[in-house]
Amino acid sequence: MKKFIAIAAIILTPLAFNASAAMSPQIEKTLVQVCKAGASNSLFKFNDTMKGYRINKQRVFPRLVCNGQSYHEFALSYGADRTASKIAPYMKGKVTIKDLAMTYDSDELLVVNY
């Protein structure tokens, strides 16, 4: 029984350490550079960083969090309006479906003047 527990512990130990590793240092360094480029209001620095690290904007921007904020909010909080407007199309939006055939109250009427 002691042998079984010892063998199980030896086998399961590497699995526990691999699960705790968040990301490689190179990926972390790359994402820090992307966050720094987003904080600057320089489109040249932003585009150069994106091309240099070959960042896929559709995959990275909706998921990237810098200092606890989404990438778009992070850029806006640092006053980088030009950078934020450049990445705005890649951010996830909200979709709402509203039935137009429903009867609405007077404040929800669709009024068109021509």
- The answer to the question of residue 7 being in a domain is no
Give me the pLDDT at residue 88, please: 87
To the question of pTM greater than 0.75 for the whole model, the response is no
Does the pLDDT of residue 62 top 60, yes or no? yes
Q: 92 lies in which domain range?
A: 25-102
Q: Give the burial class of 37: count Cβ atoms within 10 A of its Cβ; 0-12 exposed, 13-18 middle, 19 or more buried.
A: buried
Task: Report d(CA 99, CA 29) in Å as an integer.
Answer: 47
- The answer to the question of residue 31 being in a domain is yes
CB atoms within 10 A of CB 113: 3
Number of domains in the chain: 1
- The answer to the question of residue 77 being in a domain is yes
Task: Report d(CA 86, CA 82) in Å as an integer.
Answer: 6
Mean pLDDT to the nearest integer, 60-83: 88
Mean pLDDT to the nearest integer, 51-62: 88
Mean pLDDT to the nearest integer, 34-57: 91
